[in-house]
Structure 1
């Protein structure tokens, strides 16, 4: 019986598997047919991750960029209201109003007076400006999140070096390390394994906030 593939908890090797293999096995691309908002069918591919694979992740998941959708919407509103205001202004300036202005004998001579757009259209410019400002703010927030996450996880290669030497026992639900200087073979819970790996990458403080959930005990 190989020591490398033997769980130090149960002493068996029949259900021991390398951590990278367990992690990758729990991440599948699932393709399905769904209807969009217009009722048309479309093909959608999503990555489905098991709880075990998520618990064994060598790096925390990226921050949510859902706010980016609001930025896109704000940008659309900004462009739409701006174009609407421009077109509305052109329409009103292009329709002169004929008003009598001078007396020539018995006839009144008309003078072209440009019609002023109603006050409602003046607010389109303000709406466009505020929407553009909102879009810029959202863009800055998203870029900042990406930059912070990239800087925080720049040591992930060190974390993956330790992570790749982990072995998971499906029977015990624990992980142990093999041939790692300074580390023994004692069984580790998923949370403790996450803490060790993430600390090795320099982002161990996130392990407390993003705790690994053991699917066998949840």
Structure 2
């Protein structure tokens, strides 16, 4: 079966390119050497400080970004570490509170109000860490959704073409049930269809 890949909008073939090839052309990596200068403090006083660093940057064109097959995944590791570090003061407060109740001369006289106040204090100390861990958990679920739908979205994305003359993306034939073939889409609408096929269009 011969499938034509001409643009459904202009019916031309000369400026049609596959979306994966267009995306590969639009992403490049550059490496630069930057010189830094500043002032350092030493035992003898202020000293000029110079340094050189090699910086690697990934550059993506706006067109390649608009035809991305998935949203960028957000890192979780550092955020989780920060959340756990922020919980340490609350843990120390709990240990100190339990130790003070355990070493009390008369533990039966512990007042309910004192326990409630201690719980509020520990909760207030733990709140920033719990908030950061909540954000990390949200990011982890989001990244998991992207990972689970990536294979399906990639199959849909890989079968698409883009017409540079009309500025539209299309599929010569439908690669999935909800994807119409031989219909032109603006890049943003095309991206939504791909992300929807992967199950992460609304994240």
1:49 pairs with 2:43: no
Matches of 1:43 and 1:21, distance apart in 2: 29
SS in 2 for 1:149: helix
SS in 2 for 1:196: helix
Structure 2 counterpart of 1:26: 26
Are residues 32 and 138 of structure 1, via their aligned partners in 2, closer, same or farther at CA, if it must alter by over 3 Å?
Answer: farther
Q: Which of 185, 195, 198 is the matching residue for 2:182?
A: 185
SS where residue 197 of structure 1 aligns? helix
Q: Residue 4 of structure 2 aligns with which residue?
A: 4
Q: Do the aligned partners of 1:71 and 1:135 also contact (CA within 8 Å) in 2?
A: no
Cα offset for 1:48? 0.7
CA distance in 2 between counterparts of 1:41 and 1:195 reads 42
Q: TM-score, normalised by structure 2?
A: 0.61
Q: Which moved more, 1:149-158 or 1:20-29?
A: 149-158
How far apart are residue 25 of structure 1 and its match?
A: 1.2
Alignment of 1:56-135 (within 5 A): 56-63=67-74, 68=79, 71=82
Q: 1:186–1:148: structure 2 CA closer, same or farther, 3 Å change rule? A: same
Change (3 A) 1:64 1:151: closer
1:151 alignment counterpart: 144
- Decide which of 155, 159, 177 is 1:165's aligned counterpart: 159
Tell me which structure has the larger Cα radius of gyration. 1
| TM-align CA RMSD | 3.6
Q: Which runs of 5+ in 2 are unaligned?
A: 39-49, 89-124
- CA positional deviation for 1:35: 3.0
TM-score computed with the length of structure 1 as normaliser: 0.58
For residues 192 and 179 of structure 1, the distance between their equivalents in structure 2, rounded to whole angstroms, comes to 17
Secondary structure at the aligned position of 2:156 is classed as: helix
Counterpart in 2 of 1:128? none
Offset, 1:152: 2.0
